[in-house]
Structure 1
Amino acid sequence: MDQTIEAIFEIFSWVGIGLGALLLGLALILYLADGTWLPVRAVIDEVEGGRVARWHDDEVGGVNEAILTAEQDAGIGDADMADLFYRRGVRGRVRLTPGSPVVRGVVRLGGGLFALGVVAMIASLILLFARG
């Protein structure tokens, strides 16, 4: 029975550390590809197709605007102004959070797997030394 438990811990340690490190590397690539998002105070206006956010952007030269998605519109509510994040140097891109939800999810999954692998490795070493 002890060998079965040791084998399970060994498998969890290799898989956890390996996949965790791979996912954390992927999260770094996704973070770099996501680009720079800057905070901005935007004015929310009603237009024919829905609602639009407008803000002053020195990099693109003047006023930048983005049509709000249904999710963004629901997150803002009925406010006339909102604190948003826009992609630096790009027209028409805005979101409600400074970081990408995809990057956050991959970091959490990779970190969890890596932590599982480390805990399994420590437990495996404890069993190895306890057995003698």
Structure 2
Amino acid sequence: MADVVGLIAEVFTWIGALGAIGLAFLALVARIADGSWAPTRAVVEHTDEGSVVRWFDDQGAINEAALTAHDLESIGQRDMADIEYRVGWHNRMRLSKGSPLVRALVRLTFLMVGVAALAFAAGWIALIIEG
């Protein structure tokens, strides 16, 4: 029985370790592709056509982006909002700090590291019990 547990633990150790390495690589690529974002304060304007935010970027240019329904839920009826804008791009912003995709990939990486660590420990426990 300990041999079967040890074998299953080794398989999960390898799956967890290799999965963590792959996900960490994907998180790094996604972070690099996401680019640089800078925080700023934006003015929210509610019009008949919809709501927009306007802000000054690091070059002093005025930028504008339309708000989605999800953005409006976060902002509400406020006249000012803290946003992140893409450095070097015009009219590109988001309300969250950091990319949700990068955050998800990092969390999955840590989950796979946990799976590998637990399986590694289970394999050693099975080896000790067998001996």
What is the TM-score of this pair, normalised by structure 1? 0.91
Distance across 2 between alignment mates of 1:7 and 1:49: 62
Distance across 2 between alignment mates of 1:90 and 1:49: 24
Residue in 2 aligned with 1:92?
91
Distance across 2 between alignment mates of 1:102 and 1:49: 30
What amino acid sits opposite 1:90 in the alignment? W
Deviation of the 1:48 alpha carbon: 4.0
Whether 2:39 is the aligned partner of 1:69: answer no
Q: How does 1:12-51 map to 2 (within 5 A)?
A: 12-51=12-51
Distance across 2 between alignment mates of 1:28 and 1:41: 28
Q: How does 1:82-121 map to 2 (within 5 A)?
A: 82-121=81-120
Q: Secondary structure at the match of 1:72?
A: helix
Residue in 2 aligned with 1:127?
126
Query: How many positions carry a matched residue from both structures?
Result: 131
Q: Secondary structure at the match of 1:74?
A: helix
Deviations 1:69-105 (A, max 9, x none): 1111111111000111111111111111120111111
Stretches of structure 2 that go unaligned for 5 or more consecutive residues are none
Stretches of structure 1 that go unaligned for 5 or more consecutive residues are none
What amino acid sits opposite 1:126 in the alignment? I
Asked whether the equivalents of residues 18 and 114 of structure 1 are also in contact (C-alpha less than 8 Å), the reply is no
- TM-align CA RMSD: 1.4
Whether 2:7 is the aligned partner of 1:4: answer no
